[in-house]
Structure 1
Amino acid sequence: MTNAWPSNRPDTLENICLGVCAQNQETFCVEDPDGKLSVRPGADILPGVVDRLVTALQKDDVLDLKWISLFRDTSLTRLTRIDLSRCVLGETEMDIVTDHPLQELILTDTVLSKNTVECINKLSRTLRILKYENNPQESMTDLTFTGLIADMLENPQINNVGEKQFGKDFFINTPNLRILSLRDCFFKESHQSCNLQILLNPLNRLTHLDLSRCLLDIVQLQSLQNLHNLMWLNLSQIMLMPDELEQVLEHVCKCKNLRHLDISCDAMEHHGVLHYDNGEKCLKKLMSCLPYLTSLDLSGTDLPKIPQETVSHKLEPTSKGQQTRVAEKKCCIAGLDGRIFEFLGLLHCRGDPCNEENLPAKQVSGHATEEQVLISIQRYYDRDNALTSSLNSLFKIFRYSEVKNHCAALEAILLGMRENQCDKQVQISGSASLFYIVKGPHKENITYLQKRRLITCLLDAMERQHDDMTMLRNGCLTICNQAIPQDVTILAHPHPKVWCLVSAWSTLWNVTDETAANCEKFMNNGGMDLFKDCLQRFVDKPELLRNMMGLMGNIAEVKFLRPKLMDPEYITMFSNLLDSKSDGIEVSYNAAGIFSHLMSDGPDAWTISCPARDEVIDRLTNAIERWPINCSRNINYRYWSSAACCLSDLFIELLDMKIGKAITVN
């Protein structure tokens, strides 16, 4: 696995232009009186740009399909691939899409229209790749792929193809299909249901088949033997009875040209690994029947067993030949002797064989090493439990050890977070490791494009998981470690929520820490007005007040900014907060820190008459004496606050007496 960072180049002019066009659709389209979009007269969209324009439009708002009407005229635009994941399709949209000579159609978590199957069959000549994953929200309705087929079987008005009859000879009439993915589908034998054999029989040119997480009858896998060109097969997490597992392998063994086979299981979801009664025998049979196999995923099963060597206690001389054989490296997994795989999946297998030496593969998924963990994240980006587990393993390496390949880690994390945007655990686990990458020794190697993807990914996660403080904290701390551009501004939400202000003030507190330039920007751009507004609105929110006062303390540390704090309104606000009991002594302590800096400049620096300096000194003294001697504070710094160093002689003794024994450092 390479650790080379990509060159730090800007985005291509073409990509930038496509992004601008997607955000400003009036540049190339007009809206008809009926509300439909059309390509602007005179505009010419080159064939090679159309697919990329669709991708740019989807980035803006993937669920808004209004832009699909742009492609009604196939003479002006020619789509060859389209990803309609997480969309709600209507019959009109499906008709427009399949009027184009599509080679690839992706329908992951898509709510389908009733004419979906008929529209797919319009692509008989061109379609090469079809990917469908059942939408969880529609799993119990008819608006699923197999549900639509079952509905069509009850409908006598079906257009058959020549002598071929729908439901008897075919379901999808796409003989040139090479890659078919049908995840979470129902193929159980019942009246008028979608039969897997009928579905697969006409597709004899298939090279890749994904049936992961499908519910099916074991006999339907007989159709695999007719797929003579099949090289890639995914049967992970198929819902079968334990006594049917070896029968599955019997059918798999008839796919003689297989290069990749996935028969893994989600051990976390099933509360244990998948058990095979004759694991070693099964693996030996697979090896003998599948001579071209170079990639095998056994994760979450007990198939990979470590052979137990017999130890002889005889004291006798060892011959040279015996010494040579002992020195030879033996395969550590029973049944795989003599084979070296490009990839071997061993994540969550019983006995943790991923910890063993002499694994018969160039790449292994598991949790034993950094490389295994990164491979697991890359491989299982679309499996929530395996991905979350692998991200947690990576975080532990970052936290307690050292990750060497930061570039691969960054790319793997961003992939996993992008593909699981609504999974809170994935977002939290991924963001935790991103923090270590952006503040680590290789942070200068992160390219402009990687930074943009990283920040966008974090902001999206924070928006979706806005009620989770862990996610918000991870996102804020990670973004704070970026070199924030000069022109970054904070935007006020029209309906502010407490969590959004807490996160914003936490970010401001961090970016102003020991950074005089950022403190000055805050003062010069209306920051104090924002402070007053939040103080009035959220006076009863202790966490918010603590963050706000922490930022004020950062400003007070900057000597040339302290005169700007010498305003009667500000001093009155700070002195009133000396009496605050919010969040223990946190708010009061931070207010005292501000005044310690202001007092350290001497009486001449106190340029206001109200409140008077002596009056504030009295309130400060009273506040410190009220602090409970047994109170504790959580301090995230490894040094004492500079406020303590700037206290006048009048308060040093008080502080030593009252809080010297009370502070705890976490």
Structure 2
Amino acid sequence: MKRSPNSLEDICLDIIADNIHLYVSYSLISDLREDDDAICGCVFKDPNIFLIQPISEKLMNRLLEKKILSNSTLYLFTGRNTTLRTVKIKDIRVNKGGMMFLKSHKITDLECTSMKTISIVDIIDCLSSWSIQNLSSANFAKCHFMDSSNFCYMVKILSFNKLRSLGLAYTELNQFCFNMICTDLKFLERLDVSGTYITSLEPLKNLQHQLKSLVLADLPNVNNLASVLSEMYKLQYLDVSIVDEKVDDIDLGQSQVAQLLQFKDNMPSLISLDISGWKEHIPKDVLYNFIMTHPKLEFLGIVFSELMFEPAFSEQQYFQYPHHLVISGLGNKDQIAVALQRYKDRATYIQKALYHLFQITNRASPEPFPEMFELVLPVMENHPLVFGVQMAATACLYNLTKGELSKNIHPNQLSKGINLTLNAMSNFPKEFQLQKNSLLTLYNDRVLLEVSFNRSKCAVLVLDALCKFSDDNVCRMAAAICSILASKISSRETSQLGSKIKYMSKLLEMVANRVKNELSDITLKFTLSALWNLTDDSPDWCTVFVVKDGAVLFLKVLQKFKNDSTIEPKVLGLLNNIAEVTHLRQSLMLNELINELYGLLRSDNIDVSYFAAGIVANLASDGDENWIATSHTREEMLREIEDAIMQWQVPQSEMVAYRSFKPFIPLLNIDMDYRVQLWALWAIHHVCTKIPKRYCTMLKEEGGDKLLHVLMNKPESPKQIRTFSYLIVGILEENSI
């Protein structure tokens, strides 16, 4: 965990991006071309804001990462408030009006990729004349030239006469336009024409004296590959890989790449060579000889090639292993790491790389690989809807975080990984193994207790998985996760969960099955804890519990698992939550339940006796007229409460946690029976002595201190009531509350 904390600049950019609506207002933008529809654009509330170039560019990138960039938000980046030189936009829905912000900037580097709603020609029209004349780098990969009028004006690209880098991968680029690009753009040094419609590389000879980088992926049958590239003596980076599986199915015959590699003297300046995807067409000896005759070579891509498993390329101890090379492949951990870094946009490569990473990390005694965890996150984020990638990624994340391994990962990275896991669960709710992988990752104390992520969203997804699948392991993990999450989310969020009756039904069903089979397993205990925490300060959950006959079921749990100290406190804690809801108290006035409580008040286990007393105190607080149980009178139960409290020894640690003291306030009413008051005071005193900073502040904010002073100063109050009140007030004063 050597990574430093996020910089103040990064934190500020995140906050601004996440709360962009606080800093902007919306205005109808009219300074667009006449043929464009007007748009409602964002403008900064403070018109005098001006962001310097690095901040402007970083804010745009942050909005893009968070999927907030749109026609409206792009208008923030006009020249009035920002300055841009580099613009990178990918896969957003935007029209020509939205891109007109480019007009007010002097752009030197432009990257607009995977843009489905605007043509390359329209993007070029949005550039200022200065940008067109001075643009150094342009990348329009996976965009289209065809405009809304079905007019394909490719030659417009030729207006960038100072261009040094051009990316037109997977566009409609044809041979005619390719010829003109190689002839007219005389300063080109880097060119990517992967997956286009060109058929001959002959025009590249016009660039042989300056071309340094050339990407020809998914062009296996292009003519003249070997003969033309042999003349590219300044070429440093060459990619002739196969990405598209359909392309790979073509009968390639004698590989042109193999022919190219047989010329030992060509491309003497080559630093990087990517021949990934050529599975069976490159002999080992030919490639090895090429490497030996090109001493400047630093990178070799051989993903999907059988060569990646050859000892000469996968085993560093092998006598022929080229130690000076960085190799991407699937043959070992290092190859996989390089593949994950270099091929973020290639889903087929990523899926296989993750599969092999899973095999490497799926060991009984796994090693910590925090660097591999960080490499999985960007590719997972890049392909959210590709099931194969998400399936493999969730499996890898579990292997890389299970047990103590999560302690080796920086909290920021772990947080990002968990949020990406939740996205995968959301995108593929019916995929059992992916859901199970995700639950395995979440089923981790460090993750649930220390890491920052959307816990409310997580609770919904986990409960959905619980309802959808009946697998025992899924049920156990889901119940355990919910038992912790429920105590970490707000009462409002808990109530929102309670509005879905299916969640309560499933949890009660799990309890009922174990009562029926007399099975006191870990799943039962997790489920009881989940229900206890979900009903805490949540009348909605409590109401659903009662409607679903939860009180009767929990009576059976007490009867079936009598004297089980791991079960009784959880059952009684939940019933205590029900008893706090005034209109639900009558549902607990069951003779059999009152009988059980009478006996449990005398339990030697203080947890059991405490919660039993809490239930009775709340039921008794409604007065004699509302005590409808006949097995024991209200007075009998109150006497038992007093006797029990007088025998309690204060435990060393916090016995219970409370979200609020609001349920205690009515119990401290001046006219309340003193034994009800006694239980409430003992409870408040207990938690205030254990965690004074939290509970003393809470008591003050909710007005409990005023009631304590009244009870303390009331002459008629029994001695123990005045004593407890005095002790609690003393704790408040000690903590300056």
Q: TM-score range by the shorter chain?
A: 0.5 to 0.7
Q: Secondary structure at the match of 1:171?
A: helix
Q: Secondary structure at the match of 1:491?
A: helix
Distance 1:525 1:94 in 2: 41
Distance 2:468 2:87 in 1: 37
Cα separation, partners in 2 of 1:557 and 1:387, compared to 1, 3 Å: closer
Cα separation, partners in 2 of 1:231 and 1:529, compared to 1, 3 Å: closer
2:526 is the counterpart of 1:554: yes
Cα separation, partners in 2 of 1:288 and 1:21, compared to 1, 3 Å: same
2:157 is the counterpart of 1:176: no
Partner of 1:306: 284
Partner of 2:27: 32
Q: Secondary structure at the match of 1:296?
A: strand
The 10-residue stretch of structure 1 (566-575 or 37-46) with the greater mean CA deviation from structure 2: 566-575
2:229 is the counterpart of 1:252: yes
Matches within 5 A, 1:409-428: 409-428=372-391
Residues 215-269 of structure 1, C-alpha deviations (whole Å, 9 max, x = no match): 2222x5423542532222111112x53xx56x21212222211112111223844
Quick one: which of 178, 191, 195 aligns to 1:196? 178
2:80 is the counterpart of 1:84: no
Matches within 5 A, 1:493-572: 499=464, 502=467, 510=477, 513=480, 534-535=501-502, 552-554=524-526, 569=546
Matches within 5 A, 1:328-407: 333-340=288-295, 341-350=297-306, 354-356=310-312, 357=318, 358-360=320-322, 362-400=325-363, 406-407=369-370
2:255·2:282 contact (CA, 8 Å) conserved in 1?
no
Quick one: which of 230, 233, 250 aligns to 2:211? 230
2:266 is the counterpart of 1:289: yes
Partner of 1:22: 17
Distance 2:440 2:161 in 1: 52
Distance 1:289 1:342 in 2: 16
Residues 525-551 of structure 1, C-alpha deviations (whole Å, 9 max, x = no match): 997996795358856998999899975
What's the CA shift for 1:388? Answer: 0.6
2:213 is the counterpart of 1:214: no
Residue 105 of structure 2 aligns with an amino acid whose one-letter code is: H
What's the CA shift for 1:390? Answer: 1.0
1:117·1:148 contact (CA, 8 Å) conserved in 2?
no
Bigger-Rg structure (1/2): 2
Cα separation, partners in 2 of 1:87 and 1:389, compared to 1, 3 Å: same
What's the CA shift for 1:433? Answer: 0.3
1:45·1:76 contact (CA, 8 Å) conserved in 2?
yes
Matches within 5 A, 1:540-619: 552-554=524-526, 569=546, 573=550, 597-598=561-562, 600=564, 610=590, 612=592
Cα separation, partners in 2 of 1:516 and 1:459, compared to 1, 3 Å: closer
Distance 2:331 2:255 in 1: 26
2:182·2:206 contact (CA, 8 Å) conserved in 1?
no
Q: Which structure would you say has the larger RCO, counting Cα contacts within 8 Å and 6 or more residues apart? A: 1
Cα separation, partners in 2 of 1:57 and 1:298, compared to 1, 3 Å: closer
What's the CA shift for 1:391? Answer: 0.8
Partner of 1:42: 48
2:368·2:405 contact (CA, 8 Å) conserved in 1?
no
Cα separation, partners in 2 of 1:569 and 1:466, compared to 1, 3 Å: closer
Cα separation, partners in 2 of 1:19 and 1:603, compared to 1, 3 Å: closer
Partner of 2:622: none
Distance 2:528 2:590 in 1: 19
Cα separation, partners in 2 of 1:53 and 1:545, compared to 1, 3 Å: farther
Partner of 1:130: 138
Residues 317-350 of structure 1, C-alpha deviations (whole Å, 9 max, x = no match): xxxxxxxxxxxxxx98354444453111222224
Cα separation, partners in 2 of 1:427 and 1:526, compared to 1, 3 Å: closer
What's the CA shift for 1:444? Answer: 1.6
Cα separation, partners in 2 of 1:227 and 1:449, compared to 1, 3 Å: farther
Partner of 2:109: 104
The 10-residue stretch of structure 1 (528-537 or 15-24) with the greater mean CA deviation from structure 2: 528-537
Cα separation, partners in 2 of 1:370 and 1:547, compared to 1, 3 Å: farther
Q: Secondary structure at the match of 2:303?
A: coil
Q: TM-score, normalised by structure 1?
A: 0.68
1:117·1:172 contact (CA, 8 Å) conserved in 2?
no
Cα separation, partners in 2 of 1:452 and 1:305, compared to 1, 3 Å: same
Cα separation, partners in 2 of 1:576 and 1:366, compared to 1, 3 Å: same
Partner of 2:678: none
2:96·2:123 contact (CA, 8 Å) conserved in 1?
yes
What's the CA shift for 1:366? Answer: 2.0
2:193·2:216 contact (CA, 8 Å) conserved in 1?
yes
1:283·1:335 contact (CA, 8 Å) conserved in 2?
no
Distance 2:509 2:358 in 1: 30
Cα separation, partners in 2 of 1:260 and 1:59, compared to 1, 3 Å: closer
Q: Secondary structure at the match of 2:151?
A: helix
Distance 1:602 1:461 in 2: 35
Cα separation, partners in 2 of 1:554 and 1:489, compared to 1, 3 Å: same
Cα separation, partners in 2 of 1:249 and 1:556, compared to 1, 3 Å: same
Segments of structure 1 that go 5 or more residues without pairing to the other structure are: 136-143, 154-165, 308-330, 579-590, 617-666
2:439·2:462 contact (CA, 8 Å) conserved in 1?
no
Distance 1:440 1:147 in 2: 54
What's the CA shift for 1:599? Answer: 5.4
Q: Percent identity?
A: 17
Residue 456 of structure 2 aligns with an amino acid whose one-letter code is: L
Quick one: which of 446, 453, 456 aligns to 1:491? 456
Partner of 2:63: 57
Residues 123-157 of structure 1, C-alpha deviations (whole Å, 9 max, x = no match): 2233222222225xxxxxxxx1266898255xxxx
Partner of 2:151: 151
Q: Secondary structure at the match of 1:255?
A: coil
Cα separation, partners in 2 of 1:515 and 1:47, compared to 1, 3 Å: closer
Residues 541-592 of structure 1, C-alpha deviations (whole Å, 9 max, x = no match): 989998999755326589x99xx9x9995995487699xxxxxxxxxxxx98
1:63·1:86 contact (CA, 8 Å) conserved in 2?
no
Once superposed, what is the RMSD of the aligned Cα atoms? Answer: 4.9
Cα separation, partners in 2 of 1:493 and 1:521, compared to 1, 3 Å: closer
What's the CA shift for 1:102? Answer: 1.5
Q: TM-score, normalised by structure 2?
A: 0.62
Distance 1:438 1:174 in 2: 49
What's the CA shift for 1:76? Answer: 3.2
More helix by share: 2
1:511·1:518 contact (CA, 8 Å) conserved in 2?
no
What's the CA shift for 1:461? Answer: 2.8
What's the CA shift for 1:195? Answer: 1.5
Partner of 1:187: 173
Distance 1:101 1:124 in 2: 9
Q: Secondary structure at the match of 2:440?
A: helix
Partner of 2:441: 478
Q: Secondary structure at the match of 2:298?
A: strand
1:134·1:145 contact (CA, 8 Å) conserved in 2?
no
What's the CA shift for 1:20? Answer: 2.3
What's the CA shift for 1:491? Answer: 3.3
Cα separation, partners in 2 of 1:305 and 1:59, compared to 1, 3 Å: closer
Cα separation, partners in 2 of 1:24 and 1:208, compared to 1, 3 Å: same
What's the CA shift for 1:107? Answer: 1.7
Q: Secondary structure at the match of 2:299?
A: strand
What's the CA shift for 1:470? Answer: 3.2
What's the CA shift for 1:273? Answer: 8.8
Partner of 1:408: 371
Distance 1:532 1:77 in 2: 46
